[in-house]
Structure 1
């Protein structure tokens, strides 16, 4: 592609925010579940506004902060292992683990409504969320990243992840294995200053180490940037700096290509605990939270500065997939709720001492109503938040869904 063609393939940097904001609004209007995924800040505003809801205070640990279904999925480690873990840690903080339970419960409840399941199914979903989460605190499962029999839907996703190769990733993300990022709707050209900043970033030792981290690569191999572009991607993160960087590791017949995701980190909306020390730099916070909560992903992340912004960088691997739940049967909803809640619980439990796990488990088991095997704080929070999100979603659609694309 010529320089003139590349220059015409995307908007000017000053025009990007308005286009991305419109993208975000359209994506959030696509379904009530999509609205939940894109409204993290409002989730905590609504939760804070419900002053009558008294939540249990769990031991302060790193939490996801945005624990909806789409933020879990298969994740590969640098050594080649595969597990289902939390895969998006933008909102991670040292906070109250109850917030992750509520956010997951809300996400599953909205998915059930999108699947036209009856209201009684939501009751059972929340019961399964509690059962699965508490199961993670049993001594034999607290430290195991994949303990418990996985549902059929999860097994299918894991099998798909395991058989994927670089070609699958390249075809999906950059439309082929050629060493170029195709500019157009998804990828926009960088300015000269942005490209120079990317080149300088990947010349740093930390980024060279990230590019050669996989066990199949020579740690001393040369690393060079082949191409880079602004990435029009995501939902809640639209509007932040987001770059795709295609990197070559080694030369000649040993040369391997990898795709790096460079993402701006901003202050988290999730409330943080007064206990525990967190990095003040937002990118360092995200990396620290990932290493504590999702070690497979955290072990493949680096925090850095780019154009005076805090960014975190990870290599995209073919095995990393988002868990997409478009339609659930009642049985699938039960099984998936329990399993995902156990995955989240394991992420919390591995950060706690034995005494802390016992105390938190006992706290969770208090105040169960007679009519539902889930704590009243979870049921009441979910009911109020579902109602609030339904109303806000319809209002969002009124304002944004009919806008021209």
Structure 2
């Protein structure tokens, strides 16, 4: 077998030189070297250092205003209105605010492909290429290569904010944040002990067993059962109708769902032709059998409101064979200016797609990217067997269970690009990191609530326009 590169120094226990199959900078080192790297990072930045509060020299409303730059102006009030609904809704939409605060915070120096916006609502069910349900991190608009701590800190904060909103006692919220961090640490340590291929394919059953989610089982079953019924057929039945002499069309529900005609419609269709080239050949062959029936504009999410987002209705083997794609604008990551992060490919749609493929155990088989009217977009199947838990509805030990589940899933996602042996050596056996992140999460949750209050004040004063209830 031809070996393309050789690692100059590591050796096995028997003294035989270890040789790599890839370039030296991409090599996962031997066990001793991996542990040494993680422990060296721990000596440089202690685990307890992650309890430190973040910078506070900023106006959160100004950061929200900056994040609105480049969005469709008529939808900015809707975005602000959705963020104003509650502290947790604010946190969801304020990824740019927390990214600003995280920049310059203590980091271990160990990087992974990170979600960049890892909160409790960015985990959910979706369909794998084999048409089975997968539960994983599922939002990658902000993905970059960066400090794994950024994701874990944002996740822990979201646990406390959601728990408070649900009316849970403060001790319960802190315990759930602690358990999210502990599940992350323990999962990293479990993955570090497995053969590489087993760690790479660590499945949902193993994650659920590691997270111990008995109190959440009923809720997971209900969300899973509902997700199975979601898909293009359901979307088409709910949001489209046949128009006499004009084929099938999306039914307008302004401002959330509106028609796209003329130049804009043709631009989306032209972008889809380029998108096909980002797919494997066999999937291009599949999609070539479909024809475009209609294109509409559809507002999505909280943080994404105001970006250009389209849904495309396609028909395959007859009009009953519907496929609905989402074509969503990909903006620069909120971490793009952070020196601790690597912005990735110049095309932001490609950045999102490659980041998603790197972190997920399985991804949407039609996931790709496109350019529409000179802007980067990502393309994916719309609502394909998707389902998620609303964390602010969780009661009792359910919040704790869900926090552990999300912590374990996040560790699995990070370990796909950061050697789990290195990560495990850093996080260690003790709960020093868990305690530090609990302290951090409670403190930053206070700030998120204060920032939400500042947003409400800006709306009342007329500084920010807001449209609520949509």
After TM superposition, is the score higher than 0.5? yes
3-state SS, counterpart of residue 95 of structure 1: strand
Cα offsets for 1:192-225 (capped at 9, x unmatched): 11111122233447179689849xxx72753221
**TM-score normalized with structure 1 length:** 0.83
Distance 2:322 2:95 in 1: 34
Q: Which stretches in structure 1 are left out of the alignment for 5+ residues?
A: 1-15
How far apart are residue 322 of structure 1 and its match? 3.4
Matched, 1:195 2:262: no
Closer/same/farther in 2, CA of residues 312 and 273 from structure 1, 3 Å limit: same
CA RMSD of aligned residues (A): 3.0
Which residue among 438, 445, 448 is the counterpart of 1:389? 448
How far apart are residue 34 of structure 1 and its match? 0.4
Choose 356-365 or 135-144, whichever is displaced more.
135-144
Q: Which stretches in structure 2 are left out of the alignment for 5+ residues?
A: 1-70
Closer/same/farther in 2, CA of residues 277 and 65 from structure 1, 3 Å limit: closer
Matched, 1:311 2:377: yes
Distance 1:126 1:27 in 2: 25
Distance 1:106 1:123 in 2: 10
Distance 2:168 2:124 in 1: 23
On the 8 A contact 2:249/2:293 being kept in 1, the answer is yes
Matched, 1:156 2:222: yes
Matched, 1:363 2:426: yes
How far apart are residue 300 of structure 1 and its match? 2.9
Closer/same/farther in 2, CA of residues 385 and 240 from structure 1, 3 Å limit: same
Choose 67-76 or 122-131, whichever is displaced more.
122-131
Matched, 1:56 2:108: yes
Partner of 1:102 in structure 2? 153
Distance 2:170 2:364 in 1: 37
Matched, 1:22 2:77: yes
On the 8 A contact 1:66/1:92 being kept in 2, the answer is yes
Cα offsets for 1:159-190 (capped at 9, x unmatched): 32234454433355x16698321123122232
Between structure 1 and structure 2, the one with the greater Rg is 2
On the 8 A contact 1:287/1:302 being kept in 2, the answer is yes
**TM-score normalized with structure 2 length:** 0.72
Distance 2:96 2:278 in 1: 35
Distance 1:61 1:208 in 2: 24
Distance 2:106 2:275 in 1: 48
Cα offsets for 1:121-179 (capped at 9, x unmatched): 1221122112211232213574313122353122331232234454433355x166983
Choose 104-113 or 154-163, whichever is displaced more.
154-163
Matched, 1:36 2:91: yes
Which residue among 323, 326, 330 is the counterpart of 2:396? 330
Partner of 1:268 in structure 2? 333
Alignment of 1:277-292 (within 5 A): 278-292=344-358
Closer/same/farther in 2, CA of residues 176 and 117 from structure 1, 3 Å limit: farther
Distance 1:116 1:223 in 2: 49
Cα offsets for 1:89-122 (capped at 9, x unmatched): 1000011111110111111111100011111112
Cα offsets for 1:33-67 (capped at 9, x unmatched): 1000000000112233xx6x534333x22110001
On the 8 A contact 2:274/2:370 being kept in 1, the answer is no
Distance 1:274 1:396 in 2: 28
Cα offsets for 1:344-370 (capped at 9, x unmatched): 111111223xxx31221221237855x
